Amino acid sequence: MDERIIKNTILNTIEASLDAQLRAVRRLKDGEHGAKPRAPRKGMSQVDMAYDILKRAGTPLHVSEIISRIEEVHSRQVDRESLASALIKKVQRRNRFVRTGKNVFGLIEFGR
């Protein structure tokens, strides 16, 4: 390799590193004077909450009952169509959930 190419590659790498460090310092400096607050962590997904509810119930539940219990236990409102769609996709992939009736979902029993 040509010496100039190696030299330019090294200098470009150092320049990129210094640029990143300068941006980080500026972000930290601006953070002292009114940086945007971070959004709170959302926590569990709708599917994770549904899994938790079904695990607690120990029996399949209708999607309406799952939603009701999510609101009660997790204090979150869940869109019925969104949750049903997500659970159906999990059922089709044989991922954690089974469908035992129309809009009735349960958990796959392990060890079968």
pLDDT, one tens digit per residue, over 33-78 is: 555 555 555 688 999 999 999 999 999 999 999 999 999 999 999 9
Structure tokens, 57: 């119930």
Structure tokens, 95: 């991922």
Cα separation values, 30 from 17, 20, 25, 27, 88, Å? 20, 15, 9, 5, 46
Q: What is the reported pLDDT for 40?
A: 52
Q: How confident is the model at residue 27 (pLDDT cuts 50, 70, 90)?
A: confident
Q: What is the reported pLDDT for 32?
A: 58
Q: What is the reported pLDDT for 112?
A: 44
Q: What is the reported pLDDT for 1?
A: 65
Query: Taken in order 13, 17, 18, 22, is the CA torsion positive or negative?
Result: positive
